Chain A
Amino acid sequence: MSRKIVIEATNVSKQYNLSKIGSGTIKDDMKRWWYKARGKEDPFLRIGETNDRSRKGNSNWVWALREINFNIEQGDVVGVIGRNGAGKSTLLKLLSRTTTPTTGTIKMKGRVASLLEVGTGFHPDLTGRENIFLNGAILGMTKKEITSKFDEIVAFSGVERYIDTPVKRYSSGMYVRLAFAVAAHLESEILIVDEVLAVGDAEFQKKAIGKMQDVSSGQGRTVLFVSHNMGSIQTLCNKGLLLKNGMIAANGLLMPVINEYVKDGNSDEQLIFEPADNPFLSHIQLTSSTALITTGNAITFNLELKQFTKDLVVHLGIYDFKDEKLFNLATDYFEDVIKSTSVKCIVPVNNLPEGNYYVNLLLKRAGQTLCHYSKCLVFKVVNGDFYHQNKLPELTPSKFFVQHEWQS
């Protein structure tokens, strides 16, 4: 089935001026105007620099996005990922028409609704009811549409009791619930969402993610979703778009894109360790069945030895960052497991909840310690669907997930 392309971006670039607006800008404006009047290229378009926040640049002009090209097909749920300052928000701003590209064009088909923030235009003095109408209208709904969905919106938000109270009396959670409820009921062919799910309590987050899934899978709508939470990206999206320094680093099916993102050096994470001058150990590597180490998925520790003897003992200690030992993976629990220089330890179901962990490695032979490496691997677990319920478990401060079932 050939699907329609609903968003087409061609050579889209966006340049920003970093200098203080107001001093010297009249001069620059004049210069631009003078070049333009003579039919020449804008002088400032040439001197822009790549968008890399960690390096100090020489120019005051920077390319937040540079020559971006992509197509998005109808029904795709695209996760836009990238590090802070990679250009994600700029891209969403362009797509939601709050600003225009410096060069290039973006073409879109259908109504576009953007949720770069929840509760845009909420007025603190208006009641919940009044704000639903106002916010809905700002997001592009007609009064008729809002009226027909009003009850649904109120029910979804769960703040029925306070619907005629001015929103300034709301708790911030109630405020966000109401705001998201309005946005979730938008009827648009293209929905652009920026990390708004990072709000509300766990119950509401679940509801919001569920609603987003309905939106994309049930109604054939196209969704662009920006988030740093790989867990929710993996739950929601089928395609990925990775931005790096204002350019597209990867684009297409989700998994390869996330791989690329992870590979691209999360400096905190260390998934492979190669000790220098160790006569026994070549390297140890942590791999996962999914691109990211996710709760509920399998993880594997791969050890490559330089030599092996049957009496070699491997200890892996898994710690959290409170330096609390969570569990051991050790060969001396088992008989005769080391049969070659390639040793694998498979954890079929990763019980660890979202968080950061590290691994200590100990090699022993005949009661003698051969080597000990502290924090040789550092890894990050993202929240996953541990119970296979098509939803992310709530984040509670427990140390483990445990497989269990209920009967009645």
Chain B
Amino acid sequence: MKKTEWDIEIASETSWFSFKLNEIWRYRDLVALLVKRDYIAKYKQTILGPLWHIIQPLLTTAMSFLLFNVVANIDTEGKNAILFQLAGITIWSYFATCLTSTANTFIANAGIFGKVYFPRMVMPVSVVISSFLQMAIQFVVLIAAIIVNIFINTEYHLSWNILLLPIVVTIMALLALGLGIIVSSLTTKYRDLAVLVTFGVQLLMFASAVNYPISTIANRLGTDSMIYKLVAYNPLSILVDTFRNIMLGGPIQYGMLAYTAGITVVVLMFGIMLFNKVEKSFMDTV
């Protein structure tokens, strides 16, 4: 008998720090195919197909505009109110889609996970990418609306800040991924969190400055109020606000952006650790 070098070792205990990024890279074709699957499966047997990506934010924007700007008369820091809402909804819906879809990674894919091994992280990563495609379509709508606005109101705010855009979107994606895999890891055994997430995302939207600027709260309640702190230090409202300021013009708070990036790294690391720990034997508890 020859001594053999083992390729795979299956044991009960695994270290907390095995990120296996190379393994995900090896399965990149699978990621691509899953993204494709999501896209095809979503619009099979619909008439409008991907147009729904455009209709949905437009209707939501119209509603938010009526509610927050016409009825409640919330100030938009001098930005066009419709664009303000559209921008906020575009970036927020990316976060919301990523979070809600990654949060049930284990439960939704239990059938596949129970039969075949592949790096489990492939699933949430593919969700984040396919949601990104969806966001990209909505982003085009936003650009179109901005261009229309340039013609109608001759307002023009494009600046070098646009270079920050990929960073903001990436942070948003990673934060959603991190939170999503934390929730998905915790829900394998106790399903309570999954229930929380579905309506929690809606509640979170109101705390994330999607329909109003952070400054409104400062003006109305003062910077010492609990609510202001809750919103101002919420990484999500910082990302939404920054995204809006990039697209529609406004000051970028680099310090707060760095703070958000820091939080994202921590959340993501924790999420990956937890996910790795859970993926090993979640089939027994799911």
Contact = CB atoms under 8 A, between A and B. Distances in A.
B116 interface: yes
Q: At the interface, is chain B mostly helix, strand, loop or mixed? A: loop
A196 B74 CA distance: 63
Nearest to B190: A22
B73 to A, nearest CB: 46
B190 A143 contact: no
A84 interface: no
Interface stretch (B25-33, B47-55, B238-246): B25-33
Contacts of A99: 280-281, 283-284
Contacts of B27: 137, 140
B115 interface: yes
Contact of B33 (A97, A104, A111, A143): A143
Interface in B97-113: 111-113
B118 A100 contact: no
Contact of A114 (B45, B115, B189): B115
Contact of A101 (B8, B11, B36, B37): B11
B115 A102 contact: no
Nearest to A114: B116
Contacts of A103: 12
A106 B280 CA distance: 14
A22 B44 CA distance: 37
Contact of A105 (B5, B9, B44, B118): B9
Among B6, B115, B191, the one with the most A-chain Cβ atoms within 10 Å of its Cβ is B115
Q: How large is the interface on A (under 10, 10 to 19, 20 to 34, 35 or more residues)?
A: 35 or more
B10 A106 contact: yes
Interface of B: 1-2, 4-12, 14, 27, 29-30, 32-34, 36-37, 40-41, 44-45, 111-118, 189-191, 280-281, 283-285
Given A2-B1, A17-B284, 17 more contacts: A5-B4, A94-B10, A99-B281, A99-B284, A100-B281, A101-B10, A105-B11, A110-B7, A116-B114, A120-B112, A121-B116, A123-B37, A125-B45, A126-B40, A138-B118, A141-B29, A143-B29
CB-CB nearest 3 A-B residue pairs: A97-B117, A137-B30, A107-B6
11 contacts: A21-B285, A22-B189, A98-B113, A100-B280, A107-B8, A109-B8, A111-B7, A114-B117, A138-B116, A138-B118, A140-B118
Interface of A: 2-6, 8, 16-17, 21-22, 25-26, 93-112, 114, 116-117, 120-121, 123, 125-126, 130, 133-134, 137-143, 166
